[in-house]
Chain A
């Protein structure tokens, strides 16, 4: 299953699940990273990490390791 870390800038996915039950997962969810939300990768930092994502009304920054916790359903293109 693809994760948020696998997306290239401009790509869109729907959040299927967030791995983990620790403080980081809680923080991600408090910021609105929830099952069913549509998320778009806006861009990358100059050195490739962290990434910027757009989610409903807000823009968030997270590192690739953290983005890898967010499992995605991709639009039809995926087999």
Chain B
């Protein structure tokens, strides 16, 4: 390494601003440490071109501000995919919008030091100032472990800071060490002289034949070690016409290593673990107590043949009853108090006209009816975050693996699919934990069938409007909650044959591997849970505030234009004048009737109404009128938009005024031209089944496009899901009506 490189100078002497990257194995308490260092407010984004989440936090110490970059949890720097390579790019400061890290913090689980140090041995060869955070320190003694921290620090050549992030122990010490850590130069590579000679040789070859390619030793080592890995692919593409020759040079390096008894790729794990054992010899002792820990005992029950499944079903049931119980009061407050208050405020300030119509019928009705579902989303993510953080999610994968293999997937698909119950977007992004490409594709394609929180508004609206508010089993089980639970199962039930068929016909081949860590159970950290809930709530609101807001305005415009509204405004102004004059209710009736007729005419003649009427023959067999058809059309960007659309349609139609109890009343009162109600139980279920199975979510389709790097798969998902949804709704309505009569 060049001695004059800026990496060798202590960063704190050059600048008071510091960039720190946090890296470690999964289940080491990395998120907890991240929020303990930087607080729960983090900026969440994505690295360009890949699906890896970018999480950046900030804090300040006496010397100045610190930017903290959280890298995804990983066991190794071996980069099989482009996603795994992101960590290398960040650590080397190669991404344009991410500052090059000055200090690396490797977090390890002190109760499992051998395996955690594997990643450390790779990181230290970057030659950057590195700190080892020895987390879970509070559990070391109880686990019968003895560590000589000072000697460990001396042998590894980096500062070692014991900490317990969940109890916020050792955090200020870690901050201090982050400021003070320095390094002289990169330590010699563990893989030895013979290996390093091959790296030199390859560097020479590249400088001669492809001088435009970077030759950092760290990257070249990975180029040799990661057979068919992301770096090999990237180098061969960038080498252009010399790609084949480069591949040959790499293959020669591997062959020559094999001749010396160093077989790539297994040589890396052998030599690194050998080094780790040497370093830990005599200073890290695990006394196998032989006693079963309480974590083992919990595990015995939760993975039990019978109790395990029961516990699993119980947890799922609890989650969805919890949503009904925990969020309904907040929801009622928003619809019954906050929203009418906003409408009244606007109406008291503005005379009838386009702006007032835009604000009350477009903006407030649209965004308001989406924001109302924030409480449920927060409650759902509260459960998911707690299950993840306490360690149950991995057990769920363990318990479900055998079943998942029946449809050709693995237990690893369980977590992404479970997350998709909240939102398919993070769920699809979570499929990157699945190593097998075919498993991953199938999981991505069925993930949108899981009942996400955007369906919840549709289910909640229709369930609470049409399903009686009754309690079963002595008041413990809400019938409405039961229907919600059943609706969540519809998508999952359909996903089983779909996944089987996809695996059988679209992605045929062998079943994949299933190696996974089962972390010890622990109490979920309030900070980690809170930050995850906040992140997701914020993400939902941002979507509601932008995408759904824009759609609301577009839908309002489609329903507003091209009609002439002057007569409607005149009637409304007259009605409001009569209302002011304290006349009886009967006196208002002629104006109200005239307004309803006028707005009915306007919406029928609008762009939206004409489109809806044109497609009514297609949706009629599902029991829908043109307004529901319009709602479905307009909800292409996001399912929850149908609520906004129906709200807009019915307010524009004059069915809603500030006295009305809201959308529920409006849809109860909606009628066919002959006066019979549009909505009944079969229609409500037909709509719910359609939304359970359809792919009306632009964000999901965009994520599928990005994850699969092809338009083919989002189109495929949209087409197959829409067909399923139509068929499902058709069967539901037709069978339902036969039974309902």
Closest B residue by C-beta to A50: B401
- A21 / chain B contacts, CB cutoff of 8 Å: 263, 265-266
Decide: B266 and A25 in contact? CB cutoff 8 A: yes
- A28 / chain B contacts, CB cutoff of 8 Å: 515
Decide: B143 and A57 in contact? CB cutoff 8 A: yes
- A26 / chain B contacts, CB cutoff of 8 Å: 78, 265-266, 269
* Given A50-B398, A50-B411, A61-B518; A56-B112 close (CB under 8 Å): yes
A8 on the interface (CB 8 Å rule)?
no
- B114 / chain A contacts, CB cutoff of 8 Å: 32, 56-57
B620 on the interface (CB 8 Å rule)?
no
- A63 / chain B contacts, CB cutoff of 8 Å: 401, 513-514
CB interface residues, B 93-142, toward A, < 8 Å = 109, 111-115, 118
Bound-complex Cα distance A24 to B308 (A): 28
- A61 / chain B contacts, CB cutoff of 8 Å: 394, 397-398, 401, 411, 514-518
Contact with A along B384-409 (1 / 0, CB 8 A): 00000000001001110111000000
Decide: A57 and B402 in contact? CB cutoff 8 A: no
* Given A50-B411, A57-B115; A43-B303 close (CB under 8 Å): yes
Contact with A along B288-304 (1 / 0, CB 8 A): 00000000100110011
Out of A23, A24, A57, which one reaches B286, CB within 8 Å?
Answer: A57
CB interface residues, A 27-64, toward B, < 8 Å = 27-32, 34, 42-50, 52, 56-63
B40 to chain A, nearest CB (A): 28
Bound-complex Cα distance A49 to B516 (A): 13
Bound-complex Cα distance A32 to B119 (A): 12
Decide: B112 and A24 in contact? CB cutoff 8 A: no
A73 on the interface (CB 8 Å rule)?
no
Decide: A57 and B266 in contact? CB cutoff 8 A: no
- B397 / chain A contacts, CB cutoff of 8 Å: 61
* Given A30-B78, A34-B273; A43-B266 close (CB under 8 Å): no
Closest A residue by C-beta to B519: A59
B305 on the interface (CB 8 Å rule)?
yes
Bound-complex Cα distance A46 to B402 (A): 9
* Given A57-B115, A61-B516, A61-B518; A50-B402 close (CB under 8 Å): yes
Decide: B401 and A56 in contact? CB cutoff 8 A: no
Decide: A31 and B75 in contact? CB cutoff 8 A: yes
- B680 / chain A contacts, CB cutoff of 8 Å: none
A4 to chain B, nearest CB (A): 12
B110 to chain A, nearest CB (A): 9
Contact with A along B64-82 (1 / 0, CB 8 A): 0000000000011010100
B657 on the interface (CB 8 Å rule)?
no
Decide: A46 and B115 in contact? CB cutoff 8 A: no
- B299 / chain A contacts, CB cutoff of 8 Å: 42-43, 52
Bound-complex Cα distance A52 to B306 (A): 17
Decide: B300 and A43 in contact? CB cutoff 8 A: yes
Decide: B515 and A62 in contact? CB cutoff 8 A: yes
Out of B145, B269, B514, B519, which one reaches A50, CB within 8 Å?
Answer: B514
* Given A27-B435, A42-B296; A57-B517 close (CB under 8 Å): no
Bound-complex Cα distance A31 to B296 (A): 20
- A43 / chain B contacts, CB cutoff of 8 Å: 299-300, 303
- B111 / chain A contacts, CB cutoff of 8 Å: 57
Out of B263, B403, B517, B520, which one reaches A31, CB within 8 Å?
Answer: B517
Bound-complex Cα distance A58 to B49 (A): 34
Bound-complex Cα distance A79 to B106 (A): 46
- B176 / chain A contacts, CB cutoff of 8 Å: none
- B80 / chain A contacts, CB cutoff of 8 Å: 23
Bound-complex Cα distance A66 to B436 (A): 14
Out of A24, A30, A47, A52, which one reaches B118, CB within 8 Å?
Answer: A30
Out of A29, A46, A60, which one reaches B269, CB within 8 Å?
Answer: A29
Bound-complex Cα distance A60 to B269 (A): 18
- B273 / chain A contacts, CB cutoff of 8 Å: 29, 32, 34
- A47 / chain B contacts, CB cutoff of 8 Å: 305, 402-403
Bound-complex Cα distance A62 to B398 (A): 9
- A62 / chain B contacts, CB cutoff of 8 Å: 514-516
Bound-complex Cα distance A60 to B76 (A): 16
B636 on the interface (CB 8 Å rule)?
no
B209 on the interface (CB 8 Å rule)?
no
**Interface hub of A29, A45, A46 (most chain B Cβ within 10 A):** A46
B464 on the interface (CB 8 Å rule)?
no
- B306 / chain A contacts, CB cutoff of 8 Å: 46
Decide: B300 and A31 in contact? CB cutoff 8 A: no
- A25 / chain B contacts, CB cutoff of 8 Å: 266
* Given A34-B273, A43-B303, A58-B112; A29-B398 close (CB under 8 Å): no
B504 on the interface (CB 8 Å rule)?
no
Closest B residue by C-beta to A57: B112
B134 to chain A, nearest CB (A): 13
Bound-complex Cα distance A2 to B516 (A): 22
B668 on the interface (CB 8 Å rule)?
no
Decide: B303 and A45 in contact? CB cutoff 8 A: yes
Decide: A34 and B402 in contact? CB cutoff 8 A: no
Bound-complex Cα distance A27 to B517 (A): 12
B601 on the interface (CB 8 Å rule)?
no
Bound-complex Cα distance A61 to B299 (A): 13
B139 to chain A, nearest CB (A): 10
Bound-complex Cα distance A31 to B305 (A): 27
Closest B residue by C-beta to A58: B112
A31 to chain B, nearest CB (A): 6
Closest A residue by C-beta to B394: A61
CB interface residues, B 496-521, toward A, < 8 Å = 513-520
Decide: B76 and A58 in contact? CB cutoff 8 A: no
- A58 / chain B contacts, CB cutoff of 8 Å: 112, 115, 517
Out of A30, A50, A66, which one reaches B76, CB within 8 Å?
Answer: A30
Out of B109, B286, B516, which one reaches A60, CB within 8 Å?
Answer: B516
B222 to chain A, nearest CB (A): 13
Contact sample, A vs B, 12 pairs, CB 8 Å cutoff: A21-B265, A25-B266, A27-B435, A30-B78, A45-B399, A45-B402, A49-B402, A50-B401, A58-B517, A60-B518, A61-B397, A62-B515
New A-B pairs, 11, CB < 8 Å, besides A48-B402, A52-B299, A59-B520: A21-B263, A23-B435, A23-B513, A31-B515, A43-B299, A46-B304, A47-B403, A56-B286, A57-B112, A61-B401, A61-B518
Q: Which residues of B contact A (CB under 8 A)?
A: 75-76, 78, 80, 109, 111-115, 118, 143, 145, 263, 265-266, 269-270, 273, 286, 296, 299-300, 303-306, 308-309, 394, 397-399, 401-403, 411, 435, 513-520
